[in-house]
Amino acid sequence: MRKTEQSPPVIRPLAVYLRPFLWKCIAGPLCKLFEAILELYMPLRLAGVIDRVLEMQTAGEPYRDYVLREGAILVGIVALGLCSAILCQYWASQVSQGYGTKLRSVLYRKIQSLSHRELDAFGTPSLINRLTADVNALQNAVAMLIRLVIRAPFLCIGGIVMAFWMQARLALVILFAVPLLLLAMALVTRRSVPLHAETQKKNDRLTAILRENLSGVRVVRAFTRTEEQEERYRENADDWMRSAVRANRAGILLSPLTQLILNFAVVLILAISGWLFTDHGDVSSGDIIALINYVNQILAAVLVVSNLVVLYAKAYVSAKRVCEVLRTEPETQDGEVTEGIPGEAAVRFRDVSFSYHEKNVLEHISFTVERGMTVGLIGGTGSGKSTLTHLLSRLYDCTDGEVLIDGVNVRSYTLEALRRKIAVVPQEVQLFSGTVAENLSLGDPNASRETLERASRIAQADGFIREKENGYDASVARGGRNFSGGQRQRLAIARAIAAGSEILVLDDATSALDYATDAAVREGIRRELHGVTLFMISQRVSTVRHADLILVLDDGRLAGAGKHADLYRTCDAYREICRSQNVTGEGENA
């Protein structure tokens, strides 16, 4: 494939993974080449036999033994061709699948190593597509590389050469037919490709409408808009059909066009040989039969080549997409420290700022949290509460200032050591398919059953887990769909507790729980987890009011920090939140 100058190399970084299969990569096409040579040789030899026998028949010589011997040799040639083809196909399968497997594994590890900023930039669906569809396209391309890339052009060029060698003047016809054929292919492709792209776009739109109507079925029906939606779907469906018909019709022109060219070539060969024969008598019937055979062969090969071009154009796009991921250097690089400094504050923010997409999300945040403290984070949506905790576990790196855990900058830790220190219950709970126990031991694969059960009790999850058929070995469906929202949240809390980390972050982790359960969970955590530094993000004052330190965030700035009663007196933002929830300044902590 040709590549433009400014774009980075695409083929070489991907070709590296072919190296372990090098000799099969060379031997495969050679076998295929050998088969192609035999395939070209066979009609030639048969044509010779036909001519020779006709001569013998005219001369009245016995030809039977000669025919049988030649027949046996020809069948032998065909069989030899089969063997070498099978060998090639076998290697091609091994190499291409092996290549795909390797690439998939490398790419998967790479994706796992990317930080959130890069993952967001690529987008999850795109990454999944690259890992599956694009790797498959490349795998296919490798298979075709071994199987066809040598064979098809060879058959094409070889056929032309052989035809010339047999009958140069007749073969000129082929030289006219091939460019015509290529021209026809180019024209049809140029017309149909944009039409197909347009059809694809319309198809996406139609699917989007369907998806919306599935997810929004309650709203559509509540607003009694069913008929309008049907009309909208019908219009788009008809529109799509019209473009699909147009695109397909442009494509089906190719087959009749190539046939037409091919047939004219045959007619021309006959016409020319008619004139030549009557004038000079130097064309044999065997020649004509062989030539017509070559015409068919060459044109079939040209069609294969054209398909290959399409395949490789697609593969090139895939290669670029895969390379783009492989080339991405993750922003979060590992540090070397594995242990914090004893006696230092658990968490310290020093004038931390963070911006995302050139927008300041956090500005000049400073605070210190001692070990074992409970910290409440409160503020409106988009005030930067979650982001603040993301900086702790380095899901993102702060743009300015520094974040210290146990007196050490988070960037200096190995990611493994850093994230072992922090257990998070994210806003959106993600459970994995597997068993309940497997999910709970995600943070510490060696956690004992007792640890898991204790964690579940604290998270108020033990009860419903035991009610399941297999208890802790009950299976969890993809995304935890066989659990309710509140149950998923409690499982996530139990999972975080079971990890046994020094810092526990609850990011609005009890939003799907009712007050009673929420209160029980918080009480359990406070009672059972001694020495654990706790971060609680919430919209509810009642959740954070008892915290040792409440951080009030307002549009990315720290509007206040302190205990409930003090903040109520000094911080306007906090007082407004409290009033909206009917909470007053007094409390046990005051």
Q: Enumerate residues 357-386 that contact other proteins by CB under 8 A.
A: 380-383
Q: How many residues does the chain have?
A: 590
Q: Closest approach of Cβ 473 to other proteins, in Å?
A: 18
- Binding to other proteins by residue 211, rule CB under 8 A? yes
- Binding to other proteins by residue 121, rule CB under 8 A? no
Residue 35 to residues 41, 48, 150, Cα–Cα distance (Å): 10, 20, 11
Span near other proteins by CB under 8 A; candidates 120-128, 175-183, 305-313, 525-533:
120-128
- Binding to other proteins by residue 485, rule CB under 8 A? yes
Beta strands in 446-562 (DSSP E): 475-476, 503-507, 533-538, 549-554, 557-562
Pick from 203, 412, 435, 482: which binds other proteins (CB under 8 A)? 203
Radius of gyration of the chain, Cα coordinates, nearest whole angstrom: 36
Alpha helices in 225-349 (DSSP H): 226-252, 254-279, 285-327
Is the distance from CB of 319 to CB of 188 less than 8 angstroms? no
Residue 447 to residues 42, 316, 488, 500, 525, Cα–Cα distance (Å): 70, 47, 20, 9, 18
Pick from 519, 529, 559, 565: which binds other proteins (CB under 8 A)? 519
Is the distance from CB of 187 to CB of 210 less than 8 angstroms? no
Q: Closest approach of Cβ 76 to other proteins, in Å?
A: 10
Pick from 44, 50, 388, 410: which binds other proteins (CB under 8 A)? 50
Pick from 26, 186, 245, 310: which binds other proteins (CB under 8 A)? 245
Q: How many helices (H) and strands (E) does the chain have?
A: 22, 12
Pick from 196, 495, 564, 575: which binds other proteins (CB under 8 A)? 495
- Binding to other proteins by residue 253, rule CB under 8 A? yes
Alpha helices in 330-484 (DSSP H): 385-392, 415-421, 436-440, 449-458, 462-467
**In DSSP terms, which residues pair with 425 in a beta bridge?**
506
* Angle at the Cα of 531 from the Cα atoms of 529 and 537, rounded to 5 degrees: 70
Of 1 and 90, the one with the shorter C-beta distance to other proteins is: 90
Residue 542 to residues 3, 185, 539, Cα–Cα distance (Å): 62, 72, 9
Pick from 11, 75, 121, 341: which binds other proteins (CB under 8 A)? 75
- Binding to other proteins by residue 81, rule CB under 8 A? yes
Q: Closest approach of Cβ 219 to other proteins, in Å?
A: 5
Q: Is 223 in a helix, a strand, or coil?
A: coil
Pairing state of beta strands 347-356 and 359-369? antiparallel
State which of positions 309-348 bind other proteins (CB under 8 A). Answer: none
Pick from 12, 109, 527, 530: which binds other proteins (CB under 8 A)? 109
Is the distance from CB of 206 to CB of 240 less than 8 angstroms? yes
Pick from 329, 416, 450, 469: which binds other proteins (CB under 8 A)? 416
Q: Closest approach of Cβ 78 to other proteins, in Å?
A: 4
- Binding to other proteins by residue 90, rule CB under 8 A? yes
Of 21 and 349, the one with the shorter C-beta distance to other proteins is: 21
Span near other proteins by CB under 8 A; candidates 175-183, 265-273, 318-326, 336-344:
265-273
Of 46 and 525, the one with the shorter C-beta distance to other proteins is: 46
Residue 225 tokens, joined: 């808009």
**In DSSP terms, which residues pair with 409 in a beta bridge?**
404
Is the distance from CB of 411 to CB of 397 less than 8 angstroms? yes
Pick from 49, 391, 405, 461: which binds other proteins (CB under 8 A)? 49
- Binding to other proteins by residue 475, rule CB under 8 A? no
- Binding to other proteins by residue 179, rule CB under 8 A? no
- Binding to other proteins by residue 176, rule CB under 8 A? no
Span near other proteins by CB under 8 A; candidates 160-168, 170-178, 273-281, 351-359:
273-281
> Phi and psi for 52 in degrees, rounded to 5?
-60, -45
- Binding to other proteins by residue 292, rule CB under 8 A? yes
- Binding to other proteins by residue 260, rule CB under 8 A? yes
Rounded Cα gap, residues 314 and 375, in angstroms: 53
- Binding to other proteins by residue 158, rule CB under 8 A? no
- Binding to other proteins by residue 443, rule CB under 8 A? yes
- The 8-class DSSP code of residue 413 comes to B
Residue 90 tokens, joined: 């076998």
- Binding to other proteins by residue 435, rule CB under 8 A? no
Number of residues that bind other proteins (CB under 8 A): 154
Span near other proteins by CB under 8 A; candidates 11-19, 154-162, 528-536, 577-585:
577-585
Pick from 48, 104, 457, 529: which binds other proteins (CB under 8 A)? 104
Residue 254 to residues 68, 180, 305, Cα–Cα distance (Å): 42, 12, 14
- Binding to other proteins by residue 117, rule CB under 8 A? no
**Residue 38: Cβ within 10 Å count:** 19
- Binding to other proteins by residue 6, rule CB under 8 A? no
